[in-house]
């Protein structure tokens, strides 16, 4: 297909925004100062810029899906990303919100959010990247068939929570995008 192009899948917290454990409001979300410039460059290079994020705070009752929608709208407006896909689920015996207490295919490291993005956008997955700060991000990228990039912001500054070998390691999203051609 003539419009098929690769994507840079971006984890939200620790990659595009500052890692703050559970961000509960759009106002509390702190977008990295370099994020818009990075997304602009991603677009210039011919990639989609798509955020893929686990947001179990919804399933835990810490904030609503409507508030998460406000966060996503702000992220799109201020960075220019093409879309934000999220998993609100929290499968746990202590859950008090049964509508979110499910085993799903969207929670990273599962690839459901990427599969949805592939249906919504014409993505060349083999030339795509997944950029994140955790092992779950890298595992998601590898399972989906992308190159998996670790950034040393957020949780990426410490040891990974599971063994996985990234295809590249950068100090930040900004350093990765600068190296991208």
For each successive 10 residues of the chain (181 residues), what is the average pLDDT?
85 97 95 98 98 95 96 98 96 84 94 97 97 98 98 92 95 97 79
Query: Does 82 show up as a binding residue in the annotation?
Result: no
How far apart (Å, rounded) are the C-alpha atoms in residues 127 and 120? 17
Query: Does 87 show up as a binding residue in the annotation?
Result: yes
pLDDT at residue 94, as a whole number: 79
11 is catalytic: yes
Per annotation, catalytic residue among 11, 73, 105, 179: 11
171 is catalytic: no
- Please give the C-alpha separations between residue 33 and each of 30, 93, 138, in angstroms, as whole numbers: 9, 39, 24
Could you check whether the bond before residue 109 is cis, i.e. omega within 30 degrees of 0? yes
pLDDT at residue 1, as a whole number: 46
pLDDT at residue 42, as a whole number: 98
Evaluated on CA atoms 22, 56, 116, 173, the torsion sign reads: positive
Question: Looking at the domain that runs over 7-179, which CATH code has it been given?
Answer: 3.40.50.1000
pLDDT at residue 82, as a whole number: 98
0.85 surpassed by pTM? yes
- Please give the C-alpha separations between residue 111 and each of 17, 132, 155, 170, in angstroms, as whole numbers: 21, 14, 21, 23
Query: Does 13 show up as a binding residue in the annotation?
Result: yes
**For the chain, domain boundaries:** 7-179
Considering the chain, what is the average pLDDT of its residues? 95
Closest-CA residue to 81 (of 150, 16, 146): 16
How far apart (Å, rounded) are the C-alpha atoms in residues 113 and 54? 10
């Amino acid at each position: 297909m003539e419009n098929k192009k690769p994507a840079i899948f971006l984890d939200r917290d620790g990659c595009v925004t500052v890692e703050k454990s559970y961000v509960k409001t759009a106002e509390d979300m702190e977008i990295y100062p370099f994020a818009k410039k990075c997304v602009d460059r991603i677009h210039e290079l011919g990639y989609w810029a798509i955020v893929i994020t686990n947001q179990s705070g919804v399933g835990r009752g810490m904030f609503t899906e409507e508030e998460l929608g406000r966060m996503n709208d702000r992220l799109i407006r201020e960075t220019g990303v093409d879309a934000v896909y999220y998993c609100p689920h929290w499968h746990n015996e202590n859950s008090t919100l049964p509508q979110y207490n499910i085993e799903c295919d969207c929670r990273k490291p599962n690839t459901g959010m990427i599969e949805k993005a592939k249906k919504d956008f014409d993505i060349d997955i083999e030339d795509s990247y997944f950029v994140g700060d955790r092992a779950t991000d890298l595992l998601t990228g590898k399972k989906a068939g992308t190159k998996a990039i670790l950034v040393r912001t957020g949780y990426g500054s410490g040891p990974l929570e599971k063994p996985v070998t990234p295809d590249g390691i950068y100090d930040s999203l900004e350093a990765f995008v600068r190296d991208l051609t």
